[in-house]
Structure formats: C-alpha cells, structure tokens
Structure 1
Amino acid sequence: MTKQEAMRHFNIGKYHLEYLIQDGVIPTINLGYRTVRIPVKKATESMLALAEGGDA
C-alpha cells in the first residue's frame, strides 16, 4: 500500500506515519528514489502489536 493508503487504513496523520516508519515500527519497501510501499500484512501486525501495548 502507499503512504496515503496507510494513513487512511490506520486513521493516522502524515507526520505520525512518518514517525512510525522512521522508528522502524512500520516496515517499508523502497522501489526507487521517491516510490515507497508498505507491506499490508506486516504493517497491520505491527500496528496491532503497538495498540496492544507491546513492542512492534
């Protein structure tokens, strides 16, 4: 999914998403200089773990 799709899917803002990516909570796949994709399954698992109070 794209960053825009992730923001809608997880109901978070741009800066919160960027923070989670930089912190390593949400994994990304870089497909070029500006193209970033987020694996849906891994990101969802990480966000669920974060919501449950555990480390992602």
Structure 2
Amino acid sequence: MSDRLKWFKSSRSDDEGGNCVEVALTPLTTYIRDTKLPTSPELHIASPAWTAFIATVQPGA
C-alpha cells in the first residue's frame, strides 16, 4: 500500500535532516511514517481520530 500513497511533510519541516514525520491521507485511514526511514513500518490511524488530533494540537485550539 505504501508505494501507492502520496506522502507529505509538514509545511514547517525543513530539509536539514531534522526529526520529521510524513503523512499520507485516504478517506478512511491516515498513514504516518518516519521521514528518515521511509521503508519502516507505518502507523495507521482512523482518519476521524487524526482529524481530532490535529484540531487539538493546532495553535489556538
């Protein structure tokens, strides 16, 4: 599945090798992986749970 997903990093990430994660979204599942280890296992989270997490951690939430 991983090879068919469109992965992206936060707009706040840079290319200096920091600790970042990448995310790929589908209607039912959000996939999360370590940027430095793209072939490592991914974390799979139900999309509604991811949306709730993001809403909680965004500034001003």
TM-score, normalised to structure 1, is 0.30
Indicate the structure whose relative CO is greater, using CA pairs within 8 Å and at least 6 residues apart: 1
Q: Which has the higher helix share?
A: 1
Q: Which has the higher strand share?
A: 2
* Structure of higher CA gyration radius: 2
